[in-house]
Structure 1
Amino acid sequence: MTTTPSTPLATDTLEDAFRAAAGRFASGVTVVALRGPSGLYGLTATSFVSLSLRPLLVSVSVNTGSALLDEVRAAGAFSVNVLGEDQQAVSKYFATRGRGFSQDAFPGIPSRTEVTGAPVLDGGLAWFDATVEAILPGGDHETLVGSVKAAGRRDGEPLVYWSGGYRRLDPTDPGSPDDRIAPLSAALSEQLNASGLSPADLIDAQLALEPVAAELAAFRHDPETLAALRECMRRAHEAAGDPAAFTAEAVAFHTALGRASGNPAIRAALDTLVQARHRHYAAGTDDAATAHTNTAHQVIYDAIARGDAEAARVAMTEHLAVVRNGLGPRKASLTAAEQGVRA
């Protein structure tokens, strides 16, 4: 197939052609936010880049006339918030000229702090909390380079900006196998939970899947999924003392492990156990279980992070054996394979 190349109009200046060409690059939409000497301030930006993994750096370009630049120099920290498709109003607010500074909160836009003290907006697809590493000149813009101190994400679709307007991803795109299977997994999870999946059956299913998932995760050694596992552990530590919240974070670790495996079938199978895990784990969550779970998850993560597949498999199997004992009388002794690991 051939296409006709586009050309600038005869009356276009080079700047006009540049603007038109740059507008053809689709980008996500972010809000850069900070707390400076004058108060809370933020602006909408599409020039965000995840700059480096080692060290963790992000960058975003800001117009030299923006009030944000003097504030960020004084504050020494900022957040970058990646907006979801349902956050057009947030994007428009922070793109409005002359809105000034806020003192206690952005109007109608909840936020919180994580590590640096910069405001992190609630409801975004992702966020990066960073200290200022450098501010680099670049014509009529300056580029903030941030050293990332914390980050997080949620599921959802992004807000996209292209050719002067907001866009959405193609709704007819079938997506990845994970995307297509997810609704089926969620429905099956509900049905398994409603059918009264027993603790013994739950643990048997986990023993069949999760040691392999841990092993595959160690082989893959993927930075993004490692970060997701770390985030689950961080939140679990914060939730200690709150059984319901801790249970949710402990279950999230096991779910994240399915994603870390990189295998859509294993991920889908583990997703079907989510509701049953919530129900049975909650019944056994106490101080001792919390301490064991936090320690065991750290051991499993450490093995995955250093790429030790065998240690990851063993650590997960041993963790599930302890969990099984904590969920009540066992219907049967450990499987031969499990005994071999624990011998």
Structure 2
Amino acid sequence: MSLADDFRRAAGSFASGVTVVTTSDGEHLYGITATSFVSLSLNPLLVTVSINGYSPFLDEVAATGCFAVSVLAGDQREVSQYFSTRGRGRAAGAFPGVPTVAQATGAPIVADCLSWFDTRLHAILPGGDHQILIGEVVAAGSGTATPLLYWSGGYRRLDPADEGVPARVETFADALSARLHADGLTPHQLIEAQHALEPAAAELAAFRRSPEGLGALKEALDAAREAVASAERFTERSVRFHAALGAASGNPAIAASLQALARSRHAHYATGTNPTATRRTLAAHQEIYDAIAAGEAVRAREAMTAHLAVVGSRLCCEEPGEGEPA
């Protein structure tokens, strides 16, 4: 048995969703079944799908500059088979028997699919005997059905009696963080949320003074201090301090809420990171940490409130000023 055979058997053991990738030039529609779809990036929002290098679909996407990915639901096996049959991937006006809808780019999206991603073509990269389409997502949506799966050479469905393992709160918070960032949380909305949450988190952290919470705050503070030479790394590491503050509060609702602000916080504060702002941020975070470590709840709340006031004055006023990352 050859290595190629071993590879096929190993790859076939990976269960995947089933997608239909489509594009349109305004007159004709083009579609192909693919299981090699991957979510690539949250900033920017990118997805990828690999297409056989000999497929004419690649030329159509290169010409239109867009493509859509429809993730098929469990009852859409026939749709997958339609688009995987040679000669059916091109149609004038509409695909026979497969209703579609258009969103932002005009690329057709399979009606009643489990979820969909409408993208502008970002790049086409070589990948051996395949080409890798990278799309920047401009619109997306999802439903509540179960997915169609492909495993070991055949179609599968989820067991409806299997309720699965409940997702951790952190998973939901991270998904909400991506959604808030994609929807465009404004600086004013971000600061409002921080004022509502972070002084209370600092106060609770000072009340509890848990060794784990203090350790996480100290680690985040030290990591930011070591990254002062790089504005990007400093911003990324200083944002960790706020996530650690949520965990140190001991309240899972506050911790999840602060985690949900992470991407928007990083995006808004990154543009204002400079040497002066870095020094101010480190000093403010150190003051907050010292108050928490000393168990001084009122001082911790006031220190966080004062820090957010400085940050808010930079983000939400019209007059340009010195940046202050959080």
Query: 1:154-213 CA deviation, whole Å, 9 max, x = no partner?
Result: 1111111000001112333233569xxxxxxxxxxxxxxxxxxxxxxxxxxxxxxxxxxx
1:223 shift after superposition: 3.1
**Distance change >3 Å, CA 219–CA 130, structure 1 → 2:** closer
Distance 1:62 1:306 in 2: 45
C-alpha displacement at 1:305, in angstroms? 9.4
Write the distance in 2 (CA, Å) between the matches of 1:127 and 1:37.
20
User: Does residue 1:57 correspond to 2:46, yes or no?
Assistant: yes
Looking at structure 2, the residues matched to 148 and 309 of structure 1 have their Cα atoms a distance apart, in angstroms, of: 32
2:140 partner SS: strand
Identity of aligned residues (%): 53
Q: For the structure 1 residues 115 and 173, does the alpha-carbon distance in structure 2 shift closer, same or farther, using more than 3 Å as the test?
A: same
Matches of 1:221 and 1:306 in 2, distance apart? 21
The one-letter code matched in structure 2 to 1:140 is: D
> Alpha-carbon deviation of 1:307?
4.2
Question: Contact (CA 8 Å) 2:12, 2:152: kept in 1 or not?
Answer: yes
Which residue matches 2:177? 223
| CA distance, structure 2, for counterparts of residue 221 and residue 99 of structure 1 | 36
Match of 2:101 in 1: 112
Contact 1:28 1:161 in 2 (8 A): yes
Give matches, 1:122-161, under 5 Å.
Answer: 122-161=111-150
Q: What are the equivalent positions in structure 2 for 1:83-232 lying under 5 Å apart?
A: 83-175=72-164, 222-223=176-177, 226=180
The amino acid across from 2:107 in the alignment is A
- Distance in 2 between the 1:306 and 1:69 partners? 46
Structure 2 CA distance, aligned partners of 1:221 and 1:19?
A: 33
Q: For residue 98 of structure 1, report the CA deviation from its aligned partner.
A: 2.0
Is 1:50–1:58's contact at 8 Å kept on the other side of the alignment?
yes
Separation (CA, whole Å) in 2 of partners of 1:154 and 1:309: 34
Counterpart for residue 310 of structure 1: 196
Distance 1:220-1:117 versus aligned 2 partners, 3 A rule: closer
RMSD of aligned Cα (Å) = 3.2
Q: Deviations over 1:123-172 (max 9, x none)?
A: 11111000110000011100000011111111111111000001112333
- TM-score normalised by L of structure 1: 0.51
Distance 2:22 2:15 in 1: 22
- Alignment partner, residue 35 of structure 2: 46
Amino acid at match of 2:42: L
TM-score, structure 2 as length reference: 0.54
Residues 66 and 219 (structure 1 numbering): CA distance in 2 closer, same or farther, change over 3 Å? closer
Does the CA contact (< 8 Å) of 1:221 and 1:307 recur in 2? no
* Selected match of 1:81 from 47, 67, 70: 70
Q: Judge conservation of contact 1:129–1:151 (CA < 8 Å) in 2.
A: yes
TM-superposed deviation, 1:76: 0.3
The structural deviation recorded for 1:67 is 1.4
Q: Distance in 2 between matches of 1:35 and 1:114?
A: 12
Instruction: Please report how far the alpha carbon of residue 13 of structure 1 lies from its aligned counterpart in structure 2 after TM superposition.
Output: 1.1
C-alpha distance in 1 between matches for 2:143 and 2:195: 27
Task: Tell me if structure 1 keeps the 8 A contact 2:68–2:116.
Answer: yes
Partners of 1:170 and 1:26 in 2: how far apart? 14
Paired with 1:174 and 1:137, the residues of 2 have a C-alpha distance of: 40
Q: Secondary structure at the match of 2:90?
A: coil
Equivalent in 19, 29, 35 of residue 24 of structure 2: 35
Q: CA deviation at 1:99?
A: 2.0
Provide the C-alpha distance between the structure 2 equivalents of 1:103 and 1:58, rounded to a whole number of angstroms.
Answer: 27
- Decide whether aligned partners of structure 1 residues 227 and 42 sit closer, same or farther in structure 2, where only a CA change above 3 A counts: farther
Q: Which moved more, 1:160-169 or 1:96-105?
A: 96-105
Instruction: Give me the whole-angstrom Cα distance separating, in 1, the residues matched to 2:142 and 2:189.
Output: 24
Amino acid paired to 2:59: D
Count of residues paired in the alignment: 196
Cα distance in 2 for partners of 1:220, 1:101 equals: 39
Q: For the residues of structure 1 that align with 2:192 and 2:80, how far apart are their CA atoms? A: 40
